[in-house]
Amino acid sequence: QPVLTQPPSSSASPGESARLTCTLPSDINVRSYNIYWYQQKPGSPPRYLLYYYSDSHKGQGSGVPSRFSGSKDASANTGILLISGLQSEDEADYYCMIWPSNAVVFGGGTKLTVL
Amino acid sequence: QVQLVQSGAEVKSPGASVKVSCKASGYTLTAYFMHWVRQAPGQGLEWMGRIDPNSGGTNYAQKFQGRVTMTRDTSISTAYMELSRLRSDDTAVYYCARPNSDSSGTVYYFDNWGQGTLVTVSS
């Protein structure tokens, strides 16, 4: 199964933006996949945030604020989660995911600290 | 509303098997695949596989082939995940997760999760 690479940690201050990345292996083209993002807080199951394929094919999870958004950097073969207007409650672990064929693959997760 | 309620924590010895249940309510079990995802302490999410509760057909992650069995009992709206030949590194929280689809019906995501079942493997 492919490996999705996420930085182990990231930090930003309240009100700032956080840009979390998810890099796909070189043999998998990010252009070809929906990139899903989940948020997980301690002791709870993951919460679905959104998916991003393109600007015309994307979706937001139920009740997820619009300050969470997705994008791609095709040149870096990377999916991106952008969180604007950071709030203390955004401090959590964030996981990317792809769903190729009959398997699901998660990234290793990024722990976001809101300073 | 959709609810997935999992069985309670388990402590197992190395080499034993564990069977975790996931009881679905608020919808018909056979209408959606059920997936299983685990998370070792302090680690990330790991997909284990899925079952089509309608047919009983399964797809397992390569890593768990030969050790995992996913089944269901439609009469009680419950899915099961059994992991055999347990090792210490199987200590994890095991989640069942039901996918949902967007309005197009072509994009699926996990927005319904069980509460998780902690399985501890220790001698």
* Nearest CB to A45; choose among B63, B102, B115: B115
Q: What is the pLDDT of residues A58-84, one digit of tens each?
A: 999 999 999 999 999 999 999 999 999
pLDDT of residue B102: 84
Q: Pick A2 or A80 by higher pLDDT.
A: A80
pLDDT of residue B107: 87
> Are residues A36 and B47, on separate chains, in Cβ contact within 8 Å?
no
Please check whether residue A79 is in contact with residue A22, taking contact to mean a CB–CB distance below 8 angstroms. yes
What chain A residue is nearest to B43 in terms of C-alpha separation? A108
Q: What is the arithmetic mean of pLDDT over A8-35? A: 96
> If phi over 0 gives left and psi between -120 and 50 gives alpha, with beta otherwise, what is residue A110?
beta
Residues (pLDDT < 50) of chain B are none
**Residues 31 to 50 of B: which have CB under 8 A from any A CB?**
35, 37, 44-47, 50
The whole-angstrom separation of Cα B10 and Cα A54 is: 43
* Nearest CB to B107; choose among A34, A40, A62: A34
The continuous run of DSSP H or E covering B72 comes out as: strand B68-73
Across chain A, mean pLDDT equals 95
Band of residue A1 on the pLDDT scale cut at 50, 70, 90: low
Partners of residue A33 on adjacent β-strands: none
What chain A residue is nearest to B103 in terms of C-alpha separation? A59
> Are residues B62 and A1, on separate chains, in Cβ contact within 8 Å?
yes
pLDDT of residue B104: 81
**Other residues' Cβ atoms within 10 Å of the Cβ of residue B66:** 10
